[in-house]
Amino acid sequence: MTINPRMLVLAREAQGLTQQDLAKATGLAQSTLSKAETGVRPLPEADVPQVAKVLRVTPELLTWQEEVYGFGSASFFHRKQQSLSQRTLRKIQARVNLLRMRLVRLSDGIAVDTSLKIPHIDIDEVGTAAEAARRVRAAWRLPMGPVPNLVNIVEAAGGTVLLRDFETHRINAISVWHPGSGPLFVLNEGLSPERQRFVLAHEIGHMVMHEGDLPRETAEKEADSFAEELLMPAAEIAKDLSGIDVRRAAALKPYWRVPMQSLIIRAEHLGIITQARSRSLHAYMNKAGYLVSEPAPIEREIPQIYKEMLRIHIEEHDYSVHELSQVVGMLEEDLENEVVTPSRRRLRLVP
């Protein structure tokens, strides 16, 4: 068994461990691990199972030859990474890479027919992020008014959405689109349901306008503007925002399915209220605790593609949990937490 040094590093970083941590947990010398990770000397084959167990992967995963990618300019440029430790950043990047690799392996042999696609739009050609959002709404044939289940739409366009614990509130989401794999949106599962929709729309904006391009200082503002127009089209929401206050924002929230604060900010950006009025309402919401937890949360949109891939392998391709664990490189007990076998409860798609 030939260990790929890059996968050994990736699996370790995905657990948030240093070489010293891994050495202590496995009883190996740190020098042995260091040489294995740099490719100077292979990890002794007898030690591979123990190392894999500590890293919560199969020994076979450590032999995978997939490329390891950074986040790229679109999904991680000018985020709050400066306030996060390098260990946290590496942990998130490693976990997203492993998710992408597992999705690619699960998709082998599964024909996916998508009726839509996530386009790439040159923002400099169309002029504004809002115009890019209008074109996406048209391409996706969205009805007037609020966007229905956004997660379902993204997955119908060939994307995969996953909810995961980032173990920090400083990063809301990561979106990546690497060679050989489809668009992947990993959202912080700690987001409220309404905030999740806005964050996903923001990430779609990055994917549509910035993916594969050089970093630009205006990327975050453009993604926000895109999300506002995608979820709250100016031509349709302006009349609803007239005279907006906190009470009216709470009344509009179930219909537009966005955070109350987003409605207030949208009113400011459309010139319906002044910046001073927006700040006053923001202060009121902060005092009431609404910036931490808004009243009347909407129903959460639950991703389905990943679950469906697991279901197909178990129920239609007749994989055992053990066999499927070899495909995705996960320990069986970890995989069992994500898959429901026919003997326990049948998975089904939620419309």
**Residue 93: how many other CB atoms lie within 10 Å:** 20
What's the pLDDT score for residue 350? 38
**Distance between CA atoms of residues 296 and 305, nearest Å:** 28
Q: What is the rounded average pLDDT for all residues in the chain?
A: 91
What's the pLDDT score for residue 344? 40
Residue 77 pLDDT greater than 60, yes or no: no
pLDDT tens by residue, 16-53: 999 999 999 999 999 999 999 999 999 999 999 999 99
The candidate with the shortest Cα–Cα distance to 308, out of 348, 265, 252, 342, is 348
Q: What does the pLDDT average to over 255-275? A: 98
Residue 168 pLDDT greater than 90, yes or no: no
pLDDT grade, residue 78 (50/70/90)? Answer: very low
What's the pLDDT score for residue 348? 39
* Cβ pair 130, 228 in contact under 8 A: yes
User: Greater confidence, 240 or 114?
Assistant: 240
What's the pLDDT score for residue 75? 46
Residue 89 pLDDT greater than 80, yes or no: yes
What's the pLDDT score for residue 178? 81
pLDDT tens by residue, 280-332: 999 999 999 999 999 989 999 999 999 999 999 999 999 999 999 999 999 99
What's the pLDDT score for residue 88? 87
The candidate with the shortest Cα–Cα distance to 201, out of 299, 288, 267, 130, is 130
**Distance between CA atoms of residues 210 and 132, nearest Å:** 11
Residue 351 pLDDT greater than 80, yes or no: no
pLDDT tens by residue, 197-223: 999 999 999 999 998 787 788 999 999
Residue 80 pLDDT greater than 70, yes or no: no
**Distance between CA atoms of residues 165 and 338, nearest Å:** 14
Q: Which residues does residue 136 pair with via DSSP β-bridges, in sequence order? A: none
pLDDT tens by residue, 98-116: 999 999 999 987 877 788 9
